[in-house]
Amino acid sequence: MSDFAASTQAETDPGTRWREWLLVAGGVAASAMVLWLALGQPVAAAAYAFGVACLAAALTFALRRQGTSEPAEFAAPDWSVTHAAIDRGEEATAIIDRAGRLACANARFVECFGTAAAPPRLGLDGAANEAVEGAARAAWRDGHAALEPVMAGGREWRLEIDRAGRGQDFLIWRFAPVVRRDPLTDVVDHIRGKVGKALAREGIQAVAVAPDGRIHAANALFAARATGDAEADVDGSDFVGYFSADEQERIFYGREGTRGPSVRMLHVPVADPEEVATSSAAADPAQTASLFFLIDNQGGVGDSRTGLPQIEALLARLPLGLAMTDRDGRFLFANKAFLRAAGHDETGPPPYPSDLVIREDKGALADAVRRFAQGASGAGDVAVRLRTAPEDPVSLSLAGVRGLGEGAVILSLKDSSEETRLKREIAQATKMQAVGQLAGGVAHDFNNVLTAIIGYCDLMLMRHTPGDSDYDDIQQIRANSNRAASLTRQLLAFSRQQTLRPEVLQLPDVVAEVSTLLKRLLGEKIQLEVTHDRGLGLVRADPVQLEQVLLNLAVNARDAMTGNGAPGGIPPSKSGGVLRLKTKRVTAADVRAMKSEILPIGDYTALIVEDSGHGISPSQIGKIFEPFFTTKEKGKGTGLGLSTVYGIVKQSGGFIFAESEVGKGTRFSIYFPVHVPDPAEAAEAAAAIAAARVPARRKQWSGGGRVLLVEDEDTVRAVAERALVRQGYEVTTAADGEEGLEALGRAIGAGGEFDLVVSDVVMPSMDGPAMVREIRGIRPELPVLFMSGYAEEQLRREIDIPGMYFLAKPFSVAQICTAVEDVLKAR
């Protein structure tokens, strides 16, 4: 304890003062006794003692007075008192000395930062730690420093540092927590206070709404309009639930309905501007509260539709799709052409243009409308995808206008439904053509494989009798190969590459031929109705293939009416249905009135097949002609019926269209061009057919002969060679056209001749037609038999070599031998 502290305690402690006086008195008494004994004079001793006592008292008093006049120079700090002084609630305070040692800290500092390290070494991140150290250096230099914000201890602080002490040897660190007031709280307080009352006096309803649509606070005028009671508590209720809209999208209070005035809403997001600038989440409308000011439209004043009837009447008569929005981006009106182009079925437009487009394009369209509404007058386009046609982008034109009252933006949308339909039909036709080419190529290659399989089966059957154990197995292989060959014929029919035998005929004759078979095929529950128009034109087509078309369509119709072809396994119908077959005359005027971009203008004979089945959904109607597409259950359809129909019709020069309505039935309309026979062309065609076919009177052929066989497929070449050798022919083989020419040259050089050339059409290096043209330059009369999986009619059109014959793949051993014999007999 210091001298100042001791003296102060002595003044205030009575026991201490009595002890001091007893010591003085004892000393004086002892001195007086010694003098008395030494001098023998009691009076002198007493006087001496009294004087000494007075001197001691004066000295004691003087010393006390001196101790109370200069205490601070000798005082030492009491840190417990300092600690009590700086313990101030949420503020964290610490004191350090020149050496950077922590001299004192309050409980809040210890809680947030601990005592392991003194400021500025608080374990902050790199940037914050550097800033705090800079503030400490500034405080030692200038006596004061401040820093904000400082992120430490999981929260935000404001730091103030002050230099203090007798020798300015200490720094006082004060960390004050930064408390940011919620702007929504301020808004709520204002609406409930004087501001809300002032707005109500001016007829303005004010409401603070949470992001989820619940009301935080509202002034008394809103409560009175919304509930009829100005004192009603609307906090926590649904804001939107108090309103309704009419067909013109004007907003009314639900309690008042259209009897009351409509209201306009002014929306103000409630967010801290600093948070909006630094945080994208703060600007998200879904996470931001809103302040709404509502103003009545009295007598039409302020109504967004005021002053626009004349403009609306004018634009409604224009054939262009036009609409107008106000400055808030809401539709003021839209004419019928605009709604039709947008695919909007209702009589009036939706609230906003963005309601017409898909979700991904809503933001871009809303921004564009807002930009043209608030900026300078201008025009531009924006590509959007409508909800009714999300696969086809359209161009929406926008123009900012001024001087039309509330009208701010004019929107223009072209009705491109017909153009879109045409594009879709062209795309479908292109896809069908591509699929047809693929199917034809697959069928051609598969025919080569089937030719080898069927040929080897025939050769094996020649070595087995019906009683052999392997005979039935070989027959089964051959039967399945023939079944596969029929599938390839259907693929070729779809790709328009099968062999047709066209004839000039009347469609009613074909329908009559197949009607009896159709009745048995449809059964007793389905009624067949056949009607024919008068004055039908002739049609050039293959009657067998037309019968196939009718059979395929009838089978599909039967399955649709009985439920066997319904998606999802619709149970079979017990009442059956009606299948109608109609032939109809279609003139060029009728086609022109149809305004079809697919059907050329001309005269047609139409074949209409209509059923009363379950129909085809719009999502599937565009796929029904694709190969292997079927709506039937697994195992109940190959998906080649309608694709075969499509191929036969297109190869015959016709057109086919499908129309369907779910629950009512499907209608197939087939248009065949009317054939006008030309006598000259008919004579030329008859001559060509007579030359190509085997004559009625054949020369006697004794058998044998030399055959040049040219085929690039090894298996097909081997089968054909073995088949012809077994029949007694001398066969020379070649793998392509060049080898075939070399073989012919060797035979001529040796003095020999070939009686027949049997060749494939498509081969590598040199194909069959090119080789035959070279051979005809050397031997003009040498007959040629082409083998191919493609259509004979197509090959004759492309090759155009006189005196050629045709053998379709796949063929059997007997068929190739018969074809070779017929050609040699016709020489």
pLDDT for position 70: 43
Whole-number pLDDT of residue 279: 46
Q: What is the pLDDT of residue 72?
A: 40
Token readout for 93 is 């305070």
Q: Tell me, what's the pLDDT at 749? A: 83
pLDDT at 283: 43
Residue 167: the pLDDT is 78
* Best-predicted range by mean pLDDT (91-100, 151-160, 165-174, 583-592): 583-592
Instruction: Tell me, rounded to whole angstroms, the distance of Cα 568 from its chain centroid.
Output: 27
Query: What is the secondary structure of 787-810 as a DSSP string?
Result: EESS-HHHHHHHH--TTEEEEESS
Predicted confidence (pLDDT) at residue 76 exceeds the cutoff of 60: no
| Burial category of 734 from C-beta neighbours within 10 Å (exposed 0-12, middle 13-18, buried 19 and up) | buried
Band the pLDDT of 574: cuts 50, 70, 90.
Answer: low
- Is the CB of residue 821 less than 8 Å from the CB of residue 755? no
Highest averaged pLDDT of the listed ranges 227-236, 289-298, 342-351, 615-624:
227-236
Answer yes or no: is pLDDT of 654 > 70: yes
C-beta neighbour count of 599 within 10 angstroms: 16
Q: Which residue has the tokens 């439920």?
A: 563
Beta bridge partners, 659, equal: 667
Distance between start and end Cα atoms, the chain: 147
The pLDDT value recorded for residue 345 is 78
Q: Residue 71: which pLDDT band, with cuts at 50, 70 and 90? A: very low
Cα radius of gyration (the chain): 54
Residue 514: per-residue pLDDT = 85
When mean pLDDT is compared over 34-38, 70-74, 571-575, 818-822, the highest value belongs to 818-822
**Interatomic CA distance for residues 617 and 619, integer angstroms:** 5
pLDDT at 39: 45
Residue 41 has pLDDT above 60, yes or no: no
Q: Is 308's pLDDT higher than 60? A: no
Is pLDDT above 90 for 285? no
Ranges assigned E (strand) in 480-561: 503-505, 526-532, 539-541
Give pLDDT, residue 278. 45
Q: Do 56 and 27 touch, CB atoms closer than 8 A?
A: yes
Residue 580's SS3 state is: strand
**Local confidence band at 255 (pLDDT 50, 70, 90 cut-offs):** confident
Which residue would you say has higher pLDDT here, 664 or 48? 664
pLDDT of 16 over the 60 cut: no
pLDDT-derived band at 68, boundaries 50, 70, 90: very low
pLDDT at 494: 52
The model's confidence at residue 415, banded by pLDDT at 50, 70 and 90, is low
User: What is d(CA 400, CA 407) in angstroms, rounded to the nearest whole number?
Assistant: 9
Please state, rounded to an integer, the average pLDDT across all residues of the chain. 77
- Give the helix/strand (H/E) hosting 777: helix 768-778
Angle, vertex CA 215, rays to CA 350 and CA 264, nearest 5: 40
Top-confidence residue, 659 or 450: 659
Cβ-based neighbours of 510, under 8 Å, separated by 6 or more: 543, 546, 547, 550
> How far apart, in Å, are the Cα atoms of 578 and each of 516, 522, 611, 621?
16, 10, 6, 21
State pLDDT tens for residues 153-189: 677 888 899 988 877 888 888 888 877 666 778 788 8
Q: How far apart are CA 222 and CA 214, in angstroms?
A: 14
Contacts of 221 by beta carbon, 8 Å cutoff, 6+ apart: 199, 200, 203, 204, 205, 206, 230
Tell me phi and psi for residue 159, to 5 degrees. Answer: -105, 130
321-343 mean pLDDT: 86
Give how far the C-alpha of residue 732 lies from the chain's centroid of Cα atoms, to the nearest Å: 63
- What is the pLDDT, as a whole number, of residue 35? 46
Among 50-54, 536-540, 655-659, 748-752, which stretch is predicted with the lowest mean pLDDT?
Answer: 50-54
Answer with the residue of higher pLDDT: 116 or 510.
510
* Whole-angstrom distance, CA of residue 475 vs CA of residue 293: 90
Range name among 281-290, 363-372, 385-394, 734-743 with the lowest pLDDT average: 281-290
Mean pLDDT of 673-689: 67
On the question of pLDDT at 509 being above 80, the answer is: yes
Q: Where does the pLDDT of residue 69 fall: very low under 50, low under 70, confident under 90, or very high at 90 and above?
A: very low
Q: What was the pLDDT predicted at 559?
A: 84
| Pure H helices in 178-219 | 183-192, 194-201
In this structure, what DSSP letter does residue 214 have? Answer: B
Quote the pTM value. 0.38
Amino acid at 132: V
Q: How confident is the model at residue 401 (pLDDT cuts 50, 70, 90)?
A: confident
Tokens of 669: 């309309």
Cβ atoms < 10 Å from Cβ of 188? 20
